[in-house]
């Protein structure tokens, strides 16, 4: 008895964008932008069934994504108490009086989240 073989995934890289466009045209597939690779080069692909062809275009990505970071301090509630810069942060003590779940006596029962929230409350909002 012979087993029927079917292709699950056929993924190959083509050398140029022109080769990817020609392959896509011949197979009735659309070329789509996938995003940048780790070096910041644009990656495009065309897919038809289980077959996918990709190309990495040398040079900078024409669709750069800005790297942004938002501090949690920017979204403090309006009623958050403010304190003088450099003020000591009082960390809540463990409710059980013993060490925290990690066994470290310095970690309060509320965990690191309680430490973080105490620190956030101690920072002045400019």
C-beta separation of 77 from 125 below 8 A: no
- pLDDT digits 0-9 by tens, 90-103: 555 544 445 545 55
pTM of the predicted model as reported, rounded to 2 decimal places: 0.49
Q: How far is CA 124 from the centre of its chain?
A: 29
Supply 101's token pair.
Answer: 């779940």
Contacts of 66 (CB under 8 A, 6+ apart): none
Q: How far is CA 17 from the centre of its chain?
A: 28
Strands 31-36 and 42-48: antiparallel
Supply 84's token pair.
Answer: 């003088």
The pLDDT of residue 49 is above 70: yes
Q: DSSP secondary-structure letter at 52?
A: E
């Amino acid at each position: 008895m012979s087993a029927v073989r079917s292709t699950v995934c056929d993924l190959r890289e083509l050398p140029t964008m022109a080769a990817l466009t020609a392959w896509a045209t011949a197979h009735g597939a659309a070329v789509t932008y996938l995003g940048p690779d780790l070096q910041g080069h644009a990656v495009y692909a065309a897919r038809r069934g289980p077959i996918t062809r990709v190309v990495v275009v040398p040079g900078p990505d024409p669709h750069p994504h800005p790297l942004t970071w938002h501090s949690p301090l920017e979204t403090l509630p309006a009623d958050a108490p403010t304190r003088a810069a450099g003020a000591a942060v009082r960390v809540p003590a463990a409710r059980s009086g013993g060490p925290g779940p990690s066994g470290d006596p310095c970690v309060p029962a509320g965990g690191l989240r309680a430490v973080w929230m105490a620190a956030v409350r101690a920072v002045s909002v400019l």
